[in-house]
């Protein structure tokens, strides 16, 4: 290590654990450098107690590990739960559709409306489970980046929501989207969820959704705008 301590070289740093006179263990950072002293190179050593910093680093590492485990558990739960729920819900939905078809025109108006509500609720629950399963799968997959036309991704998202848009009388206005380097599956999921929210939370108006992209700085900013019920401004700080 002698050449490293020659004059003009940056200080050498190393950390070690020591024991104080009272027996307490502490972490110490030692910085050594060469200084000229009476024409010769002398070693100057500066020691700093970094015990609190080491404790903070260790606490952060523990919290990061706990958070990762928690995320893994949540993703696993979402995957298992959504798979287990799909079969019984599919059976309920099938019988509801069958009941609706066979009893059409044979029941009182309010009874048929009740069945329609049940069918709609089952359909929404199936979509929620599919979204939950898609989220769980994305969390278990590595990010796959590729260059793809934004219009291709948007077309796929809109195709999934074609029935919902038709039923709501929704209108989508779109600009030509750029080719971007993204994970196509995650971008499609994001666009689909934003458009789906615009359809669901529209109040009494027919949804009018505008989708466009603007180049900002060195990145593309995708925007999905609608005239729905929106959110109370006081809740904006809770959204990230």
SS3 of 53-71 = HHHHHHHHHHHHHHHHHHH
Range in 57-61, 128-132, 143-147, 164-168 with the lowest mean pLDDT: 128-132
CA distance readout (Å), 53 to 24, 72, 165: 16, 29, 55
pTM here is: 0.50
List the chain domain ranges: 2-49, 67-140, 146-238
Point out which residues pair with 209 in neighbouring strands. 172
Query: Phi/psi of residue 133, each to 5°?
Result: -65, -40
pLDDT band at 70 (very low <50, low <70, confident <90, very high): confident
pLDDT of residue 8: 61
Q: What is the pLDDT of residues 15-36, one digit of tens each?
A: 999 888 898 999 999 988 887 7
Q: What is the pLDDT of residues 141-172, one digit of tens each?
A: 677 899 999 999 999 999 989 888 998 899 99
Are β-strands 40-49 and 171-174 bridged in parallel, bridged antiparallel, or unpaired?
Answer: unpaired
CA distance readout (Å), 214 to 39, 171, 172, 181: 64, 21, 18, 15
Looking at 3.40.50.150, 3.40.50.720, 3.30.565.10, 3.20.20.70, the CATH number of the domain 146-238 comes to 3.30.565.10
Range in 111-120, 124-133, 227-236 with the lowest mean pLDDT: 227-236
Neighbours of 14 (CB within 10 A): 9
């Amino acid at each position: 290590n002698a050449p490293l301590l020659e004059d003009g070289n940056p200080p050498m740093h190393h950390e070690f654990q020591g024991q104080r006179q009272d027996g307490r263990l502490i972490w110490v950072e030692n910085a050594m450098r060469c200084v000229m002293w009476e024409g010769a190179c002398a070693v100057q050593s500066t020691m700093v107690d970094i015990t609190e910093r080491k404790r903070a680093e260790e606490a952060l590492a523990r919290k990061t590990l706990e958070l990762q485990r928690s995320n893994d558990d949540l993703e696993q739960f979402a995957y298992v739960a959504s798979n287990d729920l799909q079969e019984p819900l599919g059976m309920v939905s099938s019988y509801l559709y069958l009941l609706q078809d066979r009893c059409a025109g044979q029941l009182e108006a309010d009874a048929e409306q009740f069945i329609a509500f049940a069918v709609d609720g089952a359909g929404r629950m199936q979509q929620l489970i599919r979204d939950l399963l898609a989220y769980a799968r994305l969390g278990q997959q590595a990010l796959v980046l590729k260059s793809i036309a934004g219009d291709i991704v948007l077309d796929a998202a809109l195709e999934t929501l074609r029935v919902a848009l038709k039923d709501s009388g929704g209108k989508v206005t779109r600009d030509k989207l750029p080719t971007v380097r993204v994970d196509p599956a995650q971008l499609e999921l994001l666009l689909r969820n934003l458009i789906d929210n615009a359809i669901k939370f529209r109040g009494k108006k027919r949804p009018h959704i505008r989708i466009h992209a603007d180049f900002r700085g060195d990145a593309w900013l995708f925007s999905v705008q609608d005239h729905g019920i929106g959110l109370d401004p006081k809740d904006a700080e809770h959204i990230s």
